[in-house]
C-alpha cells in the first residue's frame, strides 16, 4: 500500500492527534444542519469529506472507530436530543436520569458510524477511488443496520437530508433512503478526488437531476378533497380526564367546519378506548363525513380483553374499517423484556400496546385505497411496501407533541418526503402539533400547516398507481449497491 500524503501542518493538527476526535464531534454536530428544518443538504458532503480524511489519517482501526463514534455522537446529540423532552417533560423521569438515558441512547446510535470507521481503516485499500467506494458502502451498511437492529432506529439516516430540493433526490425512487446515504457519502469522498473526483461528482448530480424528470407512477382515479386536522392539544393536558369532553368538542367542530371527502384526524386524537367514546358522538362524526359521500379516519386506541392497539378507525360512507399499528416504539409503546423497571421511572400512558397484524391491506375510503401508517412506522420504508401495489394514497397519523418544540417535527416531515418519493404516492400527514402536510409523489411538500396551531389543512389530492423500482425491490437495491462498492474496493485491494 502506498503511503498516505501528509496534510499541511495546520490542518494536520485537526486531522490527527488529540484534536481529531473533537474535530469529528464538531463535524457531526454541524451535520444536523443538513437535515430539516435547516435543510442545508449541500453541507453534508463537505462534512463527510472531512470525516473521510479523518478515517484515512487514523493510526489504526481503533482510532478510526473513535473518530466515527465522535462524529456520530455529535450528530445524534444535536439531532435527536429531543428524546430528553419526552422522558423528562412528559414522561416524568427525573432530569438527571433523563439526561443520562438520552446520552446513553445517542452513544448507542454512535456505535454504528464507529463500526463503519473501524472497518474502513482495517481494510483500507490503496487508491482514493477504492477508498471512496469503501467509505460509501460502509456508511450505507451502517445506516441499514441501525434501521434494523433491536427493531431499528433509522432517524437521521444520511439519505434523509437529500429529500427535495437536493439533486440527489432523483435516486430515491430507485434505491430509497439508504441508497441516498451511499451517494451522499460518495459525493463527499469525490470532493477530495481532484479533477477526476469533481467530474464524478458532476456526473452524480447530473444523473440525479435527470432522474427527477422521470415519472415512475401515474395518476389514477378522481381528485379527492381532503381535510387534515391538527388539534394542537398539549401532551401534558391530553390525558387529563377533565379535558376529555373539550377534546371531543374541538375535533367535532373542526370536522364540521371543513367538509371533505376524506378527513383525517391525528394519532390517538381521542384519549380513550373506542368502546368508551359516546356512541352518539361517533354517529355525529359519521354523519359529518357522509355530507360529501366521504369518510373520516380517526386515531383512537382499540382493545379486546387484555390486548389493546394503537389504531385508525374509519367512519362514513364506506363500511367501518380499522388499521392497527404493527411497528411499536420501544419503551414508548411496549417495554422490552427485562426493562419493567423503566415504567417506574417514566410515567408514559398506554406503554404496553399490542402489535397489529402484518401485513394489513389498504383501507377503501373516499374512492381511494389508503395505506395507513401511524407515527413512527413511516421510518421503515420497507414495511410500507406490502400495501403499496394496491394503495393510491399514503396516510400518516402522528402525535409528536411528546417532543415539544424541537427539531423532531420538521425531521419527521422530511422522513415523509422520502416515503412519498420512494413509493411514488402522495403522503398525507395529520398530526396533533405538527407538521400536518401534503407531500406529492415526487417528494415535494405541496402544503403544510404552521406547527403548534389549531387548524385544518384543506387540499385536493390525486391518487397514484404503478410501482417505482424501490417499491419492487425495497432495501435490496441499496444493499446490493453497497455490497458492490465493497466488492470493488476489495478486489482492488487484493490486486495491490
Domains along the chain with CATH numbers: 9-214+475-495 (no CATH), 220-467 (3.60.110.10)
380: left (phi over 0), alpha (psi -120 to 50) or beta: beta
C-alpha distances in Å from residue 223, one per residue of 386, 387, 426: 24, 21, 12
Task: Write down the catalytic residue from 325, 333, 422, 485.
Answer: 325
Q: If you count them, how many residues does the chain have?
A: 496
Beta bridge partners of 439: 427, 445
Task: Write down the catalytic residue from 375, 377, 422, 485.
Answer: 375
Backbone φ and ψ of 91, nearest 5°? -90, -10
Cα–Cα distance measured from residue 398 to residue 412, given in angstroms and rounded to the nearest whole number:
9
Active site residue 284: no
| pLDDT string in tens for the chain (496-residue length) | 334 444 545 555 666 678 899 999 999 999 999 999 999 999 999 999 999 999 999 999 999 999 999 999 999 999 998 888 888 876 778 888 889 989 999 999 999 999 999 999 999 999 999 999 999 999 999 999 999 998 899 999 999 999 999 999 999 999 999 999 999 999 999 999 888 899 999 999 999 999 999 999 999 999 999 999 999 998 878 888 889 999 999 999 999 999 999 999 999 999 899 999 999 999 999 999 999 899 999 999 998 777 889 999 999 999 999 999 998 887 666 666 655 555 555 566 555 788 999 999 999 999 999 999 999 899 999 999 999 999 999 999 999 888 888 999 999 999 999 999 999 999 999 999 989 999 999 999 999 999 999 999 999 999 999 999 999 999 999 999 999 999 999 885 654 4
Active site residue 267: yes
- 363: Cα separation from own chain's centroid: 23
pTM of the shown model: 0.93
Backbone φ and ψ of 222, nearest 5°? -85, 155
305: left (phi over 0), alpha (psi -120 to 50) or beta: left
Active site residue 106: no
C-alpha distances in Å from residue 226, one per residue of 39, 295, 296, 373: 28, 10, 10, 17
- 423: Cα separation from own chain's centroid: 14
Cα–Cα distance measured from residue 179 to residue 183, given in angstroms and rounded to the nearest whole number:
6
Cα–Cα distance measured from residue 47 to residue 71, given in angstroms and rounded to the nearest whole number:
10
Cα–Cα distance measured from residue 473 to residue 471, given in angstroms and rounded to the nearest whole number:
6
Beta bridge partners of 219: 464
Task: Write down the catalytic residue from 106, 190, 267, 333.
Answer: 267
Amino acid at each position: 500500500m502506498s503511503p498516505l500524503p501528509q496534510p499541511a501542518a495546520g490542518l494536520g493538527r485537526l486531522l490527527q492527534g488529540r484534536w481529531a476526535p473533537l474535530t469529528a464531534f464538531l463535524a457531526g454536530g454541524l451535520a444536523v444542519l443538513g437535515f430539516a428544518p435547516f435543510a442545508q443538504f449541500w453541507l453534508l458532503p463537505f462534512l463527510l469529506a472531512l470525516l473521510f480524511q479523518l478515517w484515512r489519517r487514523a493510526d489504526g482501526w481503533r482510532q478510526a472507530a473513535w473518530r466515527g463514534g465522535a462524529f456520530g455522537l455529535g450528530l445524534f446529540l444535536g439531532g435527536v436530543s429531543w428524546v430528553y423532552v419526552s422522558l423528562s417533560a412528559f414522561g416524568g423521569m427525573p432530569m438527571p436520569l433523563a439526561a443520562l438515558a438520552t446520552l446513553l441512547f445517542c452513544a448507542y446510535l454512535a456505535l454504528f458510524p464507529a463500526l463503519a470507521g473501524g472497518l474502513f481503516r482495517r481494510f483500507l485499500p490503496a487508491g482514493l477511488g477504492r477508498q471512496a467506494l469503501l467509505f460509501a458502502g460502509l456508511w450505507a451498511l451502517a445506516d441499514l443496520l441501525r434501521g434494523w437492529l433491536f427493531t431499528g432506529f433509522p432517524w437521521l439516516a444520511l439519505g434523509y437530508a437529500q429529500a427535495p430540493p437536493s439533486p440527489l433526490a432523483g435516486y430515491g425512487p430507485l434505491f430509497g433512503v439508504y441508497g441516498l446515504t451511499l451517494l451522499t457519502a460518495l459525493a463527499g469522498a469525490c470532493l477530495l478526488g481532484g479533477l477526476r473526483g469533481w467530474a464524478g461528482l458532476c456526473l452524480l448530480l447530473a444523473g440525479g437531476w435527470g432522474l427527477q424528470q422521470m415519472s415512475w407512477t401515474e395518476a389514477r382515479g378522481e381528485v379527492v378533497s381532503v381535510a387534515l386536522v391538527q388539534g394542537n392539544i398539549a401532551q401534558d393536558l391530553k390525558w387529563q380526564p377533565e379535558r376529555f369532553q373539550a377534546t371531543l368538542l374541538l375535533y367535532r367542530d373542526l370536522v364540521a367546519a371543513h367538509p371533505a371527502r376524506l378527513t383525517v384526524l391525528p394519532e390517538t386524537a381521542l384519549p380513550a378506548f373506542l368502546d368508551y367514546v359516546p356512541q352518539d358522538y361517533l354517529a355525529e362524526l359519521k354523519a359529518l363525513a357522509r355530507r360529501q359521500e366521504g369518510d373520516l379516519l380517526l386515531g383512537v386506541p382499540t382493545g379486546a380483553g387484555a390486548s389493546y392497539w394503537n389504531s385508525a378507525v374509519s367512519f362514513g360512507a364506506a363500511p367501518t374499517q380499522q388499521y392497527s399499528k404493527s411497528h411499536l416504539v420501544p419503551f414508548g409503546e411496549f417495554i422490552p423484556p427485562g426493562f419493567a423497571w423503566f415504567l417506574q421511572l417514566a410515567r408514559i400512558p398506554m406503554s404496553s400496546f399490542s402489535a397489529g397484524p402484518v401485513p394489513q391491506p389498504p383501507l377503501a375510503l373516499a374512492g381511494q385505497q389508503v395505506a395507513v401508517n401511524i407515527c413512527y412506522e413511516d421510518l421503515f420504508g420497507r414495511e410500507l411496501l406490502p400495501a403499496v401495489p394496491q394503495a393510491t394514497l399514503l396516510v400518516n397519523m402522528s402525535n409528536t407533541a411528546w417532543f415539544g418544540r424541537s427539531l423532531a417535527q420538521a425531521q419527521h416531515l422530511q422522513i415523509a418526503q422520502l416515503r412519498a418519493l420512494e413509493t411514488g404516492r402522495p403522503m398525507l400527514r395529520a398530526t396533533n402539533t405538527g407538521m400536518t402536510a401534503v407531500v406529492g409523489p415526487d417528494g415535494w411538500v405541496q402544503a403544510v400547516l404552521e406547527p403548534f396551531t389549531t387548524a385544518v389543512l384543506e387540499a385536493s389530492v390525486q391518487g397514484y398507481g404503478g410501482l417505482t423500482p424501490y417499491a419492487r425491490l425495497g432495501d435490496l437495491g441499496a444493499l446490493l449497491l453497497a455490497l458492490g462498492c465493497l466488492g470493488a474496493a476489495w478486489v482492488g485491494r487484493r490486486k495491490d
